[in-house]
Amino acid sequence: MARALRRDGAEVDAMVLPGHLEKARTPCDFGTLTDAIGHAMDEGGPYDAVVAHCVSASPIPWLLAEGHSAPRVVMLSTPLDLRQLVYVGAQQFGITGACRDAFLYWVNRYGGRHDILRDWRPVARARTEPLLLLHARTDHAAPIADVEELARTWPGARLQVFETSDHNGILSNACAIAEVAAFVRADEEATVALRACSSKG
């Protein structure tokens, strides 16, 4: 996607999440992630758009509400119910029952001031930035119903659903890449033309 945007004439900065470059990886909690994205938006920008995938996209509404700037926003495969996402992680480690709830408590507490259980709806209702949501119908990590609700809640948001991609596969989907490029350059005619392509996945 970054290569395609560059070919389209955009300058692209890519963010590697905190701790992921270290030989012995450090924990990358939601608070560290959110603060790092906010810092990148402030120090690397100003940007014409922010494009984020998975849990990196989850804090974007709050970052905008806190005053970090992004005139246009793209959120791909975004989990909004982070409680459920933590439960998916717990399941992968075989954590169930009361232990699962304790796991959720400590994951949330580890993130500091960034509460993963807070309601995103009031923040989304107040946003005015153009928002493009790209999502696969069969996304295993982020239920599509949550993103459909975000599209209804965020004024001016547009949701494009892909029938054949999955949670990560959407990042290499040619239609998704073309749609992001058109949205970033605010090319509404190209965006409309791409909808038929996108609907086929």
User: 3-state class of 163 per DSSP?
Assistant: coil
53 - beta bridge partners?
76
CA 55/CA 131 separation, integer angstroms: 16
The answer to whether 51 and 2 have CB atoms below 8 angstroms apart is: no
Among residues 121, 115, 175, which one has the least CA distance to residue 146?
121
Return per-residue pLDDT of the chain as tens, 201 residues.
Answer: 888 888 888 888 888 775 556 666 666 788 888 998 999 999 988 889 999 999 899 999 999 999 998 999 999 999 999 998 899 889 999 999 999 999 999 999 988 888 899 999 999 999 999 999 999 998 888 889 989 999 999 998 999 999 888 888 898 888 898 899 889 888 665 555 555 565 555
